[in-house]
Structure 1
Amino acid sequence: MRTKVKYAVINRHRNEYAVSVMCKFFEVSRSGYYDFVSRIGKAERDAELAKKIQECQDRTDKTYGYRRVWKWLKDKNIERNPKTVLRVMKKYGLLSEIRRRRKWINLGQQVHKYKNLLNRQFRTDRPNTKWVTDISYVHTKEGVLYLSIIRDLYDNSIVAYKTASRQTVNLVLDTIRLAMKKEKKRVAAELQL
């Protein structure tokens, strides 16, 4: 049990039992208990510094570590020890979010080998004869967003696109289905004319 919790229990039961007996039972010092009691109701000493650090982190989208926050505070004429800034940031949960570089790994050998139908011939003289597809990774605050697109090589127009929070086979298949559906609608509209 943490010392602060022990002091709180002693304080709650101070009218029922002797403080010295409870301090012996919980193996804490009486002076520590009375120091705890003297601080009850007083404003947290780090609260003002935490507000300033919070302001800094809000402005910088929580990207500053404690050293940069310390320099930012110093520029605002708030002189504190860098280790104090680190302690307060830990205490109030204001540490920066560490963004690690993602290591892209090959998930194994390619199972299917397909014939190269385009053979680097990326030009075409008619629409909808050559489509290409790709998946792009868009980094956002919530994580990675996967964008699957199908492009017509005739005029480089986007035939269809889909987004998802996970990269799955269904993302690609849904994009293909959407492209086919749009193409069927276009052909049907042309036939009605």
Structure 2
Amino acid sequence: MKYVFIEKHQVEFSIKAMCRVLQIARSGWYVWRQRRHQLNRRQQFRLVCDAAVLKAFSDAKQRHGAPRLADELPAYNIKTITTNLRRQGLRAKSAWKFSPVSYREHGLPVSENLLKQDFYAGGPNQKWAGDITYLRTDQGSLYLAVVIDLWSRAVIGWSMSPRMTAQLACNALQMVLWRRKCQETVIVHSDSSPMWLWQRC
């Protein structure tokens, strides 16, 4: 390409002479050189961004998605970090793994099983059931606590958080209490997850 030739030989010959011999406009050469420098700056930005995102992602033990990384890297917005993670093939992994071991074995206080595997309810606000699961997204994992009414099987309370905490379960239950405002005695059933056991809402 003529522009590349001029760039390589601009120390030996003048720009004006080479443009005349090659029959190109000097303005075209300068526009090309400016665009090339801009491309280099974009490449440099990408390299710096790649290094920063990779370091933050590794420091977080691969558990933070774009929202958390954006908080840690204020120089880059969440869209840039999301694109960067995808380009580098980085995906946040779950920070908590479910265990099939019963928490009764760990000596934690467990309430009596009042439901006794009887999941039938004759009306609303008699029996509620709660559980926690996690959802994997491109931005990382979100933990979801849900409470359902066993009479209608409808979700009546929920809460989401990037962290698995006892407050997550409490927030879901508090939503139910605020929405239902029932005065009746209700059985609230859950598994033996420590998130439902460690803290009184």
TM over 0.5: no
What's the TM-score bracket when you normalise by the shorter of the two chains? 0.3 to 0.5
Structure whose CA Rg is larger:
1
Which has the bigger relative contact order, CA under 8 A and spacing at least 6?
2
TM-score by structure 2 length? 0.42
Q: Report the TM-score, using the length of structure 1 for normalisation.
A: 0.43
